[in-house]
Amino acid sequence: MSFLVANLPVTPVWVKKEYLYDLEIEDNKLKGEGELVEGTWVTVKSKPGRALLFETLLLEYGALYDKLPISAFVWKEDYDKENQLPLEMLELWDSFSYWISVIQKDSLVGLPCKYQSKDKNFYKGNYYFTIDSCHPEPNILNTGYSELQQEHKSFNVIKLDNGQFAAQPNNRIRWYEQSLIPEETKIPDFNVCTKDYSVETGDKWSLGNNTEYFYKTKEEKEAIGNDQDIEL
């Protein structure tokens, strides 16, 4: 678990040059608009209440450029210029916590998928990696939502067919897998998980005063040798 900043998989990207000029207007247009700068992702930052922020090594400049949103990047140089999505369509939620982890879900890497954006349209792409968050420090007041069961969300980063990247939660994505998922799938009509599950909250099962390696409760010891079920 990283605080504020986490390493990313080595990822070739192209940065939309207007973001490198902080979206400055020059001659009635964005300075650098339509141009790309080749780079590679280095890290991602997570600041609560802000979009995910990416750090990039700009190859032809030998420079690091920090704190750009996911909308500043494309993963291929021949991207679809006519069908680019704004930031709010690429990333549904702001960051939840300063503490994040980055993981590639091996069984999903490269898997085709589509997500539903705020405009209610679906956009297709392939899964790449996931950014997740929590609040691991009990001595710091938790003012975020990452530990609330019903509010916690992951950021699944997707390489979109139009050349952009998206970062979407599980419940906005539908997946395609040729050998496991049927061609026609059901529409998920589930509820969000709101319950916290634990196996150590019962009051009938306790071994605090038992030092045996293969420990047993009093009831289990009494039932040994009997054919009856153990009832705790």
What pLDDT, on a 0 to 100 scale, did the predictor assign at position 193?
Answer: 81
The answer for residues whose C-beta is within 8 angstroms of residue 97's C-beta and 6 or more apart is: 46, 48, 133, 134, 135, 144, 146
**Best CA proximity match to 134, nearest among 123, 149, 122, 120:** 149
Task: State pLDDT tens for residues 17-67.
Answer: 999 999 999 999 999 999 999 999 999 999 999 999 999 999 999 999 999
Q: What is the DSSP string of 205-219?
A: ---TT---TT---HH
What pLDDT, on a 0 to 100 scale, did the predictor assign at position 222?
Answer: 72
What pLDDT, on a 0 to 100 scale, did the predictor assign at position 197?
Answer: 82
Phi first, then psi: give them for residue 221, nearest 5 degrees: -65, -40
- Residue ranges covered by each domain of the chain: 2-175
Residues (pLDDT < 70) of the chain are 141-151, 202-210, 213, 215, 217-218, 225-232
| pTM as predicted | 0.84
Kindly report the number of other CB atoms within 10 A of residue 133's CB atom. 25
**Mapping DSSP to helix (H, G, I), strand (E, B) and coil, where does residue 172 land?**
helix
User: CB of 158 within 8 A of CB of 168?
Assistant: yes
The H or E element that residue 15 is part of is strand 5-16
